[in-house]
């Protein structure tokens, strides 16, 4: 350290005029600031500080999560490897002091001492206004609310200043969990209304630039694409006072530089690094690397079942036998994923998701199936992937291409730019592709509803339609709402079995979320949104 | 002189109009649907249409164009969708960062390349000449992002001499009040010497990267044009008249050799602006190059148009400056003007 300081000052001197020596008082004040400041480096930053905004990106979710409160949040439990992991089934109040779930409604009592960042008290009318906003602004927030059957402003009723009731439209097991996701955050209604306009009744332009919540942190400086600075809100009542006073989040586009910053000890935390880097950092042991599976997430190979040749289940099964699963695990993921293939022949299907299928790499079987389907000499097709995730997708597709060539399927690789990927998915014309899906709400029927149901949502990328599948998925949803465990279990097992025998999409693995941090950083928690929660973290 | 500047500015107008039309059409021709991108992963068809309407992308192309030019005339470059900020403000904030870096890179390069070229020309075939040839060839053959990464690896990661490649200032310093936007100048005005030193040490590596890249054309051009001038008759006359070698080279030969070098400088400056895009990525530099690239990746029209337009204006101004410099150096140009 000493040598470095010396050389640093030498290089500074060499570059400019003779400069006065650094006063030592400032240095020690800076050392203090450093120990209470968390420096995060990542590739991308937020484009909007409000999750209700138009097109808010995923880094924006992290700001919302830490700067706004919700009525309720999840309890923590111990997850894989001893890392704290959110408990899917247990809830605690955040702004709510306590809550009571009745047959067709839930009533929240608010904490009376909760204040927004500007000092205004958090009242029931703020809650109602915020939830009205979430179900009315359209786009992603409204869509996410509807996943929990929260669609109409009439559902949110103010009883008195500190009591709110939410009426259910229908029985839905996902309503309560949906109130603990990022979207139903409570916004300072008076402040935002003051800054709203006729054209923008919900004040989205205002909250895009600044946070107007009651959360543990508030954004004090934001330079889009460069940095976000957040300061602790010392009056936060949503939980114990966080230990980190200040969070500086810098965007560093070069993955190599992010790793260098970590290894030299200049940055505290980073994610979005190549898997190879994570694996090497794990092996070297200088940093803490946490790897946890995405909850309810799978990377898969999808096939468009509306068009030949993939409309033939035999062809799909042949492809499933021709995927080089283990090679992908080793050479692309460097072991940082849970395999979703090669379950033992006699393993019974579980009431769980994700779970491995029974296909394995078996070229002879693949060839035989392809011949049976009427393509003894194979065929030509294209395999598409999203360039935004080229680090994983490109080598993966090359391996699949190589392997499929062995059974006579000639594939051309089609690289789709990130901006175009969603358009292409929406068109549902790509014959063969790889993609990831992961759901915030960790329930099998939630995943299947989006990915396999015949209502053909954008995530049913295969355009798969089956009356039997729909019946099983709908059955499981109803059974979950009414608490009919026996029916629920048979339906879940039923749709998993059907998805694997019909195999419109071939699960490859459950990816890991990888976070690398300095040894002196503690308190990392895994959340369904996979972003950082600064509130529990500590340094030193 | 003034009429010449006026004339040059007049010539610039058609090219600017051309740039406006071409960037508008080019960005529209990009693949990718911004509406689908901004509607988010889970959007329904209706949601995408709703956003398309909000962005005004459902209108016919010609109407979009007129709205765009009308906004431009009012100094409104539109809003960036990815960063959510007005483009004009972002470019204003980011341009000084790029300009400071590029100018410093160019100055470092000139300071090294011109003496190197002059020395190489006065002693052709000597070790100085070979050194000049080898360093410039090596510099121009390496892509800038590679040079940048190597410098970061050696001077930051391995040796620890250089500060973390985290932009214009150390994370724990605050930026000086904006006067010129150039941190080196603003910190001095604010008498914040610590921040000045930090800004300086942050600039060294990226500026060196750019300098290494631009050594070659300047040094080679200086050498070639000096060689030509040195073999001309007036130099022979000057030498024969018994003038000292220093006077001959600096006063007579160098001034005459400057014209092609100035032309090269303007070209080097313009391609440094291009190279900047990659250097900014490597050093997390908050300039306009990295801004434009990110916008391009997400099919965000407004910043790309704003970026190209700013660049076009800068090129026009640069050419104007070069023309004026010609006049200063060579009286013949002034007469023709």
Q: How confident is the model over B99-155, as pLDDT tens digits?
A: 889 889 999 999 998 888 888 888 888 888 888 888 888 888 888 888 888 888 898
Write down the mean pLDDT value for chain A. 86
Rounded average pLDDT over A292-299: 88
Q: Do the beta carbons of residue B12 and residue B308 sit within 8 Å?
A: no
Q: How confident is the model over B297-327, as pLDDT tens digits?
A: 766 778 888 888 888 888 888 888 888 777 7
Q: How confident is the model over B173-212, as pLDDT tens digits?
A: 777 777 788 888 888 888 888 888 888 888 999 999 999 8
Phi first, then psi, for residue A20 (nearest 5°) are -65, 150
Q: How far apart are CA A407 and CA A323, in angstroms?
A: 11
With cut-offs at 50, 70 and 90, classify the pLDDT of residue A504. very high
B165 touches chain A (CB under 8 A): yes
The two beta strands, A337-339 and A505-517, are: antiparallel
- DSSP-assigned beta bridge partners for residue A370: none
Task: Residue B284: list chain A partners with CB under 8 A.
Answer: 226, 250-254, 257
Nearest residue in B to A42, CA atom: B284
With cut-offs at 50, 70 and 90, classify the pLDDT of residue A537. very high
Q: How far apart are CA A449 and CA B147, in angstroms?
A: 50
* Nearest CB neighbour to B31, from listed A139, A267, A417: A417
Q: Do the beta carbons of residue B294 and residue B235 sit within 8 Å?
A: no
Nearest residue in A to B34, CA atom: A419
Checking if the pLDDT of A9 tops 50, the result is no
Return the sign of the alpha-carbon dihedral for residues B235, B236, B239, B240.
negative
What percentage of chain B carries pLDDT values higher than 70?
91
Q: How far apart are CA A137 and CA A148, in angstroms?
A: 16
**Binary contact (B196, A261; C-beta < 8 A):** no
**Binary contact (B299, A419; C-beta < 8 A):** yes
Rounded average pLDDT over A301-326: 91
At B44 the pLDDT is 64
Q: How confident is the model over A47-91, as pLDDT tens digits?
A: 889 998 877 778 889 999 999 999 999 999 998 888 899 998 899
Q: How far apart are CA B87 and CA A329, in angstroms?
A: 43
Reported for B8-17, long-range contacts at CB under 8 A and 24+ positions apart, including other chains, are B8/B319, B8/B320, B8/B323, B9/B316, B9/B320, B12/B316, B12/B320, B15/B312, B15/B316, B16/B309, B16/B312, B16/B313, B16/B316
At B84 the pLDDT is 67
Shortest alpha-carbon distance between residue A360 and chain B (Å): 31
Residue in this structure with the two tokens 């290494």, named with its chain if needed: B212
Instruction: Take residue A13 and report the two structure tokens written for it.
Output: 């001197």
Write down the mean pLDDT value for chain B. 82
Checking if the pLDDT of A15 tops 50, the result is no
Shortest alpha-carbon distance between residue B31 and chain A (Å): 7
The two beta strands, A505-517 and A538-539, are: unpaired
- Give the residue from A45, A59, A139 with the most B CB atoms within 10 Å of its CB, the best one to mutate: A139
- Whether the link from the prior residue into A354 is cis, omega within 30° of 0, is yes
- Give the residue from B46, B84, B298 with the most A CB atoms within 10 Å of its CB, the best one to mutate: B84
- DSSP-assigned beta bridge partners for residue A85: A77, A526
Checking if the pLDDT of A18 tops 60, the result is no
At A10 the pLDDT is 39
At B333 the pLDDT is 67
A424 closest CA partner among B252, B211, B32: B32
Nearest residue in A to B288, CA atom: A225
- B268 three-class SS: helix
With cut-offs at 50, 70 and 90, classify the pLDDT of residue A32. low
**Binary contact (B284, A257; C-beta < 8 A):** yes
Shortest alpha-carbon distance between residue B32 and chain A (Å): 4
Q: Do the beta carbons of residue A135 and residue A152 sit within 8 Å?
A: yes
Select the more confidently predicted residue: A97 or B49: A97
Q: How confident is the model over A379-426, as pLDDT tens digits?
A: 999 999 988 788 889 999 999 999 999 999 999 999 887 667 777 777
Shortest alpha-carbon distance between residue A332 and chain B (Å): 24
Q: How far apart are CA A359 and CA A326, in angstroms?
A: 12
Residue A361 burial (CB count, 10 A): 18
| Predicted-complex ipTM score | 0.74
Instruction: Take residue B335 and report the two structure tokens written for it.
Output: 């007469």
With cut-offs at 50, 70 and 90, classify the pLDDT of residue B1. low
A286: Cβ–Cβ under 8 A, 6 or more apart, which residues?
A: A263, A519
Q: Can you point out the beta strands (E) in A168-268?
A: 217-223, 227-232, 246-251
Checking if the pLDDT of A237 tops 50, the result is yes
Rounded average pLDDT over A295-319: 91
> Which of the residue ranges A482-486, B68-72, B282-286 would you say has the lowest mean pLDDT?
B68-72
- B277-295 b/e (C-beta count within 10 Å ≥ 16 → b): bbbbbbbbbbbbbbbbbbb
| Chains A, B: CB pairs < 8 Å | 172
Q: Do the beta carbons of residue A465 and residue A454 sit within 8 Å?
A: yes
A282 closest CA partner among A309, A261, A262: A262
Angle at B205 between CA B199 and CA B208, to 5 degrees: 115
pTM: 0.80
Inter-axis angle of helices B144-151 and B255-282, to 10 degrees? 70
**Binary contact (A55, B164; C-beta < 8 A):** no
Select the more confidently predicted residue: A1 or B15: B15
- B91 three-class SS: helix
Task: Residue A225: list chain B partners with CB under 8 A.
Answer: 82-83, 286, 290-291, 294
B74 touches chain A (CB under 8 A): no
B172 touches chain A (CB under 8 A): yes
**Binary contact (B290, A253; C-beta < 8 A):** yes
With cut-offs at 50, 70 and 90, classify the pLDDT of residue A21. very low
Select the more confidently predicted residue: B190 or A505: A505
């Amino acid at each position: 350290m000493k040598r470095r300081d010396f050389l640093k000052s030498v290089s500074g001197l060499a570059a400019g005029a003779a400069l006065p020596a650094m006063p030592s008082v400032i240095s020690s004040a800076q050392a203090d600031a450093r120990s209470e400041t968390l420096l995060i480096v990542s590739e991308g930053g937020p484009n909007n500080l409000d999750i209700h905004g138009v097109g808010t990106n995923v880094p924006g979710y992290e700001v919302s999560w830490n700067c706004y409160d919700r009525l309720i949040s999840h309890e923590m439990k111990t997850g894989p490897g001893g890392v704290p992991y959110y408990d899917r089934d247990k809830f605690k109040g955040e702004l709510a002091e306590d809550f009571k779930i009745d047959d067709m409604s839930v009533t929240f009592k608010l904490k009376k001492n909760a204040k927004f960042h500007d000092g205004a008290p958090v009242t029931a009318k703020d809650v109602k206004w915020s939830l009205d906003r979430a179900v009315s602004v359209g786009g992603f927030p409204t869509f996410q609310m509807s996943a929990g059957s929260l669609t109409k402003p009439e559902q949110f009723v103010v009883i008195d200043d500190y009591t709110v009731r939410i009426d259910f439209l229908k029985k839905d097991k996902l309503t309560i969990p949906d109130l603990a996701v990022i979207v139903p955050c409570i916004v300072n209604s008076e402040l935002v209304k003051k800054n709203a306009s006729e054209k923008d009744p919900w004040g989205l332009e205002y909250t895009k630039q600044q946070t107007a919540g009651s959360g543990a942190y508030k954004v004090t400086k934001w330079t889009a694409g460069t940095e976000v600075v957040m300061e602790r809100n010392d009056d936060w009542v949503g939980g114990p006072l966080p230990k980190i006073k200040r969070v500086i989040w810098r965007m560093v586009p070069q993955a190599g530089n992010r790793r260098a910053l970590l290894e030299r000890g200049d940055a505290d935390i980073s994610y979005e690094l190549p898997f190879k880097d994570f694996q090497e950092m794990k092996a070297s042991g200088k940093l803490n690397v946490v790897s946890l599976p995405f909850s309810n997430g799978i990377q898969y190979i999808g096939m468009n079942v509306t068009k030949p040749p993939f409309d033939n289940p035999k062809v799909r099964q042949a492809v499933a036998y021709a995927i080089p699963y283990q090679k992908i695990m080793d050479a692309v993921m460097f072991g940082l994923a849970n395999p979703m293939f090669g379950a033992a022949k006699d393993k019974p299907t579980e009431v769980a998701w994700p779970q491995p299928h029974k296909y394995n790499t078996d070229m002879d079987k693949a060839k035989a199936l392809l011949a049976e389907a009427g393509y003894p000499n194979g065929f030509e097709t294209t395999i598409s992937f999203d360039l935004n995730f080229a680090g994983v997708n490109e080598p993966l597709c090359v391996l699949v291409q190589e392997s499929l060539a062995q059974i006579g399927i000639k594939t051309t690789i089609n690289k789709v730019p990130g901006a175009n990927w969603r358009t292409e998915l929406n068109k549902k014309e790509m014959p063969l592709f790889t993609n990831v899906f992961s759901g915030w709400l960790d329930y099998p029927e939630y995943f299947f509803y989006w990915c396999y149901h015949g209502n053909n949502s954008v995530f049913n990328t295969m355009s798969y339609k089956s009356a039997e599948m729909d019946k099983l998925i709908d059955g499981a949803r109803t059974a979950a709402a009414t608490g009919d465990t026996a029916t629920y279990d048979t339906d879940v097992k039923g749709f998993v079995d059907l998805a694997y025998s019909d195999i419109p999409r071939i699960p490859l693995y459950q990816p890991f979320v990888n976070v690398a941090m300095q040894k002196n950083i503690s308190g990392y928690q895994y959340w369904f949104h996979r972003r950082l929660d600064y509130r529990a973290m500590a340094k030193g | 002189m003034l009429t010449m500047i006026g004339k040059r500015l007049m010539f610039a107008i058609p090219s600017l109009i051309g740039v406006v039309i071409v960037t508008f059409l080019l960005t529209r021709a990009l693949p990718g649907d911004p509406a689908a991108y901004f509607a988010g992963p889970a959007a329904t068809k209706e949601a995408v249409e709703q956003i398309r309407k909000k962005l005004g992308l459902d209108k016919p192309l010609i109407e979009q164009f007129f709205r765009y030019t009308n906004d431009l005339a009012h100094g409104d470059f539109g809003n960036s969708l990815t960063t959510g900020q007005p483009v004009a403000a972002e470019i204003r904030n980011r341009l000084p960062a790029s300009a400071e870096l590029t100018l410093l890179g160019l100055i470092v390069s000139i300071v090294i390349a011109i003496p190197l070229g002059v020395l190489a020309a006065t002693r052709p075939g000597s070790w100085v000449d070979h050194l000049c040839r080898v360093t410039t060839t090596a510099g121009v053959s390496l892509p800038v992002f590679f040079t940048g990464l190597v410098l970061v690896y050696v001077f930051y990661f391995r040796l620890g001499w250089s500060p973390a490649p985290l932009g214009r200032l150390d994370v724990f310093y605050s930026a000086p009040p904006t006067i010129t936007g150039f941190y080196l100048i603003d910190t001095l005005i604010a008498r914040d010497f610590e921040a000045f030193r930090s800004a300086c040490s942050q600039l060294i590596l990226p500026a060196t990267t750019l300098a290494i890249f631009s050594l070659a054309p300047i040094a080679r051009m200086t050498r070639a044009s000096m060689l030509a001038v040195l073999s001309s008759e007036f130099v022979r006359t000057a030498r024969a008249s018994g003038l000292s070698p220093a006077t001959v080279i600096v006063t007579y030969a160098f001034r005459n050799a400057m014209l092609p070098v100035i032309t090269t400088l303007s070209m080097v400056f313009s391609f440094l602006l291009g190279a900047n895009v990659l250097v900014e990525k490597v050093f997390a530099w908050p300039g306009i190059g990295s801004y434009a690239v990110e916008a391009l990746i997400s099919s965000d029209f407004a910043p790309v148009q704003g970026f190209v337009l700013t660049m076009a204006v800068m090129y026009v101004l640069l050419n104007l400056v070069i023309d004026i410099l010609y006049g200063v150096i060579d009286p013949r140009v002034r007469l023709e003007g």
